[in-house]
Amino acid sequence: MNRKEVVELCNQYGLKARKSLGQNFLCNDAVAGRIVDSAGIRSQDIVLEIGPGIGALTEFILDTGANVFSSEIDEKLFPLLRDRFSDRLNFSLIESDFLILKRDEWLSPGQNIDIIISNLPYYVMTPLIIKCLEDYSDARKMVFMIEEDASNRIFAVPETKSYGPLSVLTSIYGSKSKLFVVDQRSFDPQPQTRSLVISFDKNEDLKRNISSRFVMFVRHCFAMRRKTIHKNLIASGLNFSNDLLSEAFLHSGIQESSRAEAMKPTDFLSLYDCLFEENDTMSLE
């Protein structure tokens, strides 16, 4: 869809883009096609799209023949999406806030998801990405359009200011790539800053889920950046005894004096495994 078509479609349904929901609709088919191509979707795949908006990306995803589930929060968009894709048998609209959507509300038991794709609403980028990692780490690839300025928090490496839970968790899921920049003129309305399309490819050796307990553990490690992880974990309210912590540091080979920003992503996994193996009666989820 070009800008004129986006405006006409919005007028037809009496829609006004809602800033509070991060609505900047893509109006550049070349960009939409490029985003979908970069996801490497196969016709037998199950694809989750977050925030279809008025369907700019959805149309291209559906053309791959894959089974597409699109989760949209804004009820005002539902009639448009239903009308637009009613003849597409591979389309399902999930009328829900993705942040509270449970996996078993739309996937059958044992069913796997292959690809996640989204032009993310920028106001909830971090919780949406973390939710994808926590609930859908079976996906082999995730492709997101994000605000260019926010990318440093994802791509940051240890010992830098932006390094934090988002960099750690995305690294544990797999390898990360910056694909291409999209300028403001490709959207209606135009956002303040340029956007960046990124992808995460699952690490084939990742045989575990990124549990919500692990996410919480990483957040606690970074709670006070100038303090050691040891101090942060004592202050976390997770009731670790000094003895348990000392044992875990010893076994994982991590110095008690380490700060979170100096640890490699895999160090968090090693320490976590030692802590929770020793203490598996704790119920934190």
Closest residue to ligand SAM, judged by C-beta, is 51
CB of 248 to ligand SAM, least distance (A): 36
73 touching ligand SAM, by CB under 6 A: yes
Tell me which H or E stretch contains 213.
Answer: helix 212-221
Residue 24 binds to ligand SAM (criterion: CB under 6 A): yes
Query: Which region among 81-89, 93-101, 160-168, 240-248 touches ligand SAM (by CB under 6 A)?
Result: 93-101
Beta bridge partners of 27: none
Q: Answer yes or no whether residue 119 interacts with ligand SAM by CB under 6 A.
A: yes
98 binds ligand SAM (CB under 6 A): yes
Angle (CA) 35-36-39 rounded to 5° is 95
Helix (H, G, I), strand (E, B) or coil at 272: helix
> Which listed range, 21-29, 133-141, 155-163, 238-246, lies at the site for ligand SAM (CB under 6 A)?
21-29
Q: Is 174 helix (H, G, I), strand (E, B) or coil?
A: strand
Phi-psi label, residue 237: left if phi above 0, alpha if psi -120 to 50, beta otherwise:
left
Tell me: does residue 72 bind ligand SAM (CB under 6 A): yes
Of 5, 7, 9, 21, the residue at the interface with ligand SAM (CB under 6 A) is: 21
Q: With respect to ligand SAM, which residue has the nearer C-beta, 48 or 210?
A: 48
What letter would DSSP give residue 241? -
Rule CB under 6 A: is residue 26 a binding residue for ligand SAM? yes
Which residue's entry shows tokens 């998801």?
A: 113
Residue 97, interface with ligand SAM (CB under 6 A)?
yes
Distance (Å, rounded) from C-alpha 249 to C-alpha 230? 9
On whether the CB atoms of residues 167 and 260 are closer than 8 A, the answer is no
Q: 3-state class of 176 per DSSP?
A: strand
Least CB distance to ligand SAM at residue 133 (A): 16
Strand pairing category for 46-50 and 67-72: parallel
Q: Rule CB under 6 A: which of 31-60 touch ligand SAM?
A: 50-53, 56-57
Total residues contacting ligand SAM by CB under 6 A comes to 22
Residue 239 is which amino acid? N
CB 58 within 8 A of CB 3: no
User: Could you say whether residue 74 binds ligand SAM (CB under 6 A)?
Assistant: yes
Interacting span for ligand SAM (CB under 6 A) from 17-25, 59-67, 244-252, 271-279: 17-25
**Which residue in the set 4, 16, 88, 99 belongs to the binding site for ligand SAM (CB under 6 A)?**
99
